[in-house]
Structure 1
Amino acid sequence: MQHFIPTIWRALLLVAFVAAGATCATAADVRVGVSTKDTYVGMPILVQIQVNNASDAKPPVLPDVDGLAIHSRGTPSQSTQITTINGVTTKNTSLTYVYEVTPQRAGSFRIPPITVEVDGKQQQTRAIEFVASKSETGDLLFVEVAGKEKEIYVGQALDLTLKIWVRPFRDAERDITLSAGDMWRMISPRSSWGMFKDRMTELASNRERPKALEVLRKDRDGVEHSYYLYEVDATIYPKSPGRIQAEDVHVIVEYPTALGTARDPFASVFDDMMPRRFASPFGADDFPSPFGRRLAVQSARPIVADANVEPIHVLSIPTAGRPADYRGAVGNYQIVTNARTTSVKAGDPIELLIGVVGTGPMELVQAPPLAELPELTADFKVPSEPLAGFVQGDRKVFSTTIRPRQEGITEIPAIPFTFFDPQQDRFVTVQSDPISIHVDPADTLALDAIVSSHARAGQSADQASTASTALVPTLANYPGDGVLSSESPRNLVSGMLMLLLALPPLVVGAIWIGRHRTGIAPLMGRLGFGAGRAEARIQQSETIDEVAGVLEWYLARRLGVSAANQDTAAILGALRAGGQHKLAVRCERVFYAARQPSASGVSRPVSLGDAQHEALEVLAEVRRHHEQKRVARTPRRPSSGRVRPAGRRASRVASALIAAALVAGGSVASAKADTAASNAPLNAAQQQAILVEANQRYVAAMDSAGDDAAEAKLGFEAAAEKYQLLVDSGVANSELYVNLANAYLQSGQFGEAVANYHRALQIDPANRAAKNNLQYAQQALSPSGSEDSGEIGTGVADVASVANQWLLRRVSLRTVGTLAVLGWFALWLALGLRLYGIRFPWKSVAATATAICIASASLYVANWERSDQPIAVVTAPAVALRQGDGDQFPTAGASLDEGQVVELVKQRGNWLKVCLPSGETGWVAESSAEAI
């Protein structure tokens, strides 16, 4: 036992010794160092502060010292050193901060101890002392700044020349004089160039140097010596009055004091082989020899020279007689204007280009204050924001948009431009030439301009008849909060109505057959389509190609598309035709990843896991979509270029799909869909605020339509933008679409108005305002057709059409449908009462009810404009139908007019394939048409 205890202690001591010696770390400390303690004025020294073995250190702050300019050299450098000696490992980490200290005057300087907070404790460095002396340039270096003018105005162009005289170094022992190029290379990069910095940077980037002349100059003793004269030109535009200063121009030259042979083992060989007549001097610019002497500067001393500036005074622009439209231009200028369009309607925009040509600094030239010109603002709506322009040589071009306030305006007045001419010492105003224009009446309708379709008092019978057949749009928007509730498309006959219509015959049938009861088995939709098998195969796939193949097989089977030829475009087209645009984008991303080549060492942009996850999400979305269709029992919706979810959940899903498509860089949706995808979802409070603002702007624009067409159209455009925000946030409501279409109609965008009226009718085909305003917009786009429609034909079809239009202007389609339902109930009620034995003229009642039911139902069905065929509406004027195939369609076909409705065949990228009523097919850009 006695021997066992010492053994344990020895083992413990050995373990403690090994543990202590395994890693040895020193405590945190702070050190400071300086590059030199003797420098010259304008020559910076480097101060380094090193923090060792600190887990947390804050950047030190150097105190201000009179006569010193202290600047940090950027982020600190970090290093780690690990050493092991005799089994003892030492780890040292250091953090080094570097500061540049430049003396501004001669003398002795002392930087007091610097405090650094390390690991929560403050440590101080030692003080730093050094001496700065004035560099005695003697007669070796002279620097001057000269100008061509002795007196200029603020903003006037001033040409300056930096002149640098450097006396060439001569090695008397070797009889070598350094060339102009060699002496220029002796100029230190630490020189400060001030106003000549841009020019010096340009020379350095082009690997050039200023041209040098060898000239004679007298030194301070009046003795002439040979110098290299370097001249650097620059043009400045003084911004403040006073004397031109060049305090920030310091030229530092590392002037050679001795030359020596370079350490080149072949230098002596070349010196012996080369004849003296072929040997070029050190660094000579002319005819350099590849076997020249290998000489280098062995020692140098810095010389610093500040620039002497010739007296140049900068004067202030006079205030006496300064015009109100003066915006600081100095020099000599001319102004020209041009209008892109000269024939417009009141309120329509006119793009106005303003060009200013002159001799001054064009990048500083400001546009004329158009909003302060009464001769312009009296007839035109002018933006008040400052105009941005772009410089092209000696001219600057500004672009803006003005709107005529009323019809009958014949010209855009001359635009003045005022500048100060330093040659004439006065303000000068030049003007552009007026531009002749033609302004027609506006298309907007004020509230008080909408007349009733009934004949007014004092009208004749013919006038009353004409007024009664006039098409009057319903331009009062829906103000209620109900427009913020998303709606599902309404069916011709809803499920509840079908049940009510089936109830009377069932009751009568029950009476007829006694207690016989029948039941209706519920309809079961098809579910599955091999979804479980497809999910299993996707999860077991080992490549992206296999994932894409399983997804293509499943969608082809699901959509009834033949996948024998591996045509993924047909599958994507079927998804878009079914209204599943965002689902098509996700599928296209998987197919695109599979088509990307996987070269050796280069990975595909999408990993296998991401592709599997995306494919499984597509399967889940397809099944959810099918389940929603089965439960809602609604017919297939046509393809739409906009996101129209049925509720908030669908809105969130659609927003997520759009965001994912944008991140992955998938196929590009329409311009409006891109805007919707980039906007964050709006909550209920935000939607309510936007709706209130949109309605207010719309009503205000309606009130001002009769007085100021430009103000009204701007208001309608602003209202349309607000309504569009609500649509893009996921609200699909027929009344909201009508509001949006009305705002587009009033702002003159008839194609957009027609598209949104169609969207409203897709949800609610019985919307009277949408149907009426759609006819009005189509007549406005085709005035010749509207005139012809006023002539009533003599055929039965013409009379029936006129009668139908006359009736629907007075009775809504819902009233017609209600009348058909009442006739149906009256028919079965008469039959039921007759079966009970109640005596009454049941045949007459039944016949009358049958006639009312059939007539009303026929009228209701005939005017229920609902089609499962996808359509597209042209939103741009004069769109050419492109022929051919591929990404480019060089051949132009028929021309499509704005607002024209065509059949949508399929969509490919940014192009829509459409079919005209004549049967001609072609492609139009998605930016020129809206898919409905």
Structure 2
Amino acid sequence: MPSSIQHCILALIAAFCACGNAFAQTVEFKLQQREGWVGTPLTMQVVVVNFKSDPQPPEVAAGADFTSAVVGAPQRMDMRQNINGVASRRITTTWTVQMTPNHAGVLTLPQITMIVDGRTYLSPPQNIPVSAAETGDMMAVTVKSKPPLLYTGQAADLILEIAIRPYSNREHDVSLNERQMWELIDKPASSWGVFEPRIRELVQNNQPASSREEIRDGARWCVYEITTNTNAARIGALDIGDVRIDLRYPTGISVNRDFFGSPELSLSGIRKISMSPGPSNVVVQALPEMGKPASFRGAVGQFAIQASAKPTKSAVGDPMTLTLSVQSLSANKEELRALQPPPLDSPALTRSFRMPSDPLAGTVDGSTKTFTQTLRALNADAKEIPSIEFSYFDPATSKYVTTTTQAIAISVSPAERISSTALDGVNAAKKDVPKTSLTEVDGGLFANAASNDDLVSDQRLSVGWTTGLVFAAPPLVAVTLLLLRRQNQAAKNNVGLARARGAAKIALRNLEGAKDVAAIATLIQGFIEARTMRPTGTVTRSDAANFARMAGANAACLQSLDSILALGERAAFAPQGRESAQSLRAQAATLIGELDQLSWRHKTASILEEIQT
């Protein structure tokens, strides 16, 4: 091929690439939602593509309709491709802008200005319909009791029912399932009242609540049930504590590119919904006074009682153990926890037996609570342990029931006494014992000396257990020290383990030199990365909350963690003063101490991994 033609082809290729690069330089404004709600942020992504200089953060115009802010750090991606020998490169920098509507109506989004390489780019004007924050069409929260009617002292199952309408997106043909919607409940931010122990157990075990699907008004709903046991202690509306459920409801789904350039779906916007159950319709009634037996001690439910004694043969004043076993016949065994023993002060019992006056505690084993008491017969005329009354209120029939144990036959013998004649016989027997006589020998002390043969008859060395342990101890100690030294050496060589162990100390030392709020938040994220043995800069705000939750952090700790990281994100683009950092250091030091006491485990969980399926 002539050289002139080759030069022409190369020139055309260079011109084509230059044009392609020119077209690739742009700024994209991507709005994730098409409608909004008052108080729920709208999210817009500002994507800068293939610019030479590092772009500055976008500027959002102020206005009365929206409260706007640039959130988080910019995300940078450098993607290179080589298709059929043609190389291409796409470098993007993405900012996230949140615009929160302040009132309902058709509102115009604030204009976003982006200046890059000396050129100014403006977001196009867009109108968004904004509605009032009605939550009843998305979530419903109720509390029920089983049984529905309660009496004072009755044990019951309380059921927290959370109904959520699952999110679906027709454009991408995606509908979230029950597990994914459960993960969207903000458990640390929610208040759970009496259900707190149960929800903590579910979170620690990474388990969802029991759930089912229901069709309500032609729509699919996911219904979750969280059950806990309680005892109705006071008359009136049952106190369930502060119950408020916070839900991060999706408002859109976007298509992003992963590291390899493959498309993946992610939630593009979140609408926060908070809801509490209405006034409690679980009412506790007082027990009726009419027909209440004298032996009633507050037991509410259905019970059976048995009695046994051991031994059944004894002498006057000797101890006998009386065992009373009360069995719960109800489905809820929580009623045994506060169950009191039957009265043991009946005249039939105290007339023939003496017993301690200390209250009986009792022990619960399955469906039975056992009480034990020590009895001592006062005389040999006691032939049986009389029957013992036990009364309870049956809520199924709304009546008092009195049941008795079977009388226990016993045999009591008189206490043995030693007569004076027997004592005289003992003294007389002592008088008949022959006396020991002594014989005097010559030679003084030498007469008692042993012969030489007796002294040297056995010269063998006998080694006992004590001597053996003395000789074996030094080798055992040496081997133990060697193993400990090797273990310590292996721990020192494990860089990740050493980093995790010293994470709290390093974080607290660096905390003193942190000059702003963003630096404090970065220190805490670095602490969590060290404790979970993850690379620096890979743990996000949501990751940090998830890892802390899996490690066993309580709601207060998680709230403090999220608030500090949120302040750090805002401070990255709106720096705070030194006063703000100074006031936050003490809170951050306390948080690091609490996080260091948790049990860190290397688990990850995300609903986004299941969206494509």
TM-score, normalization: structure 1? Answer: 0.33
More relative contact order, 1 or 2 (CA 8 Å, 6+ apart): 2
Higher relative helix content: 1
TM-score, normalization: structure 2? Answer: 0.48
Q: Which one has a bigger Cα radius of gyration?
A: 1
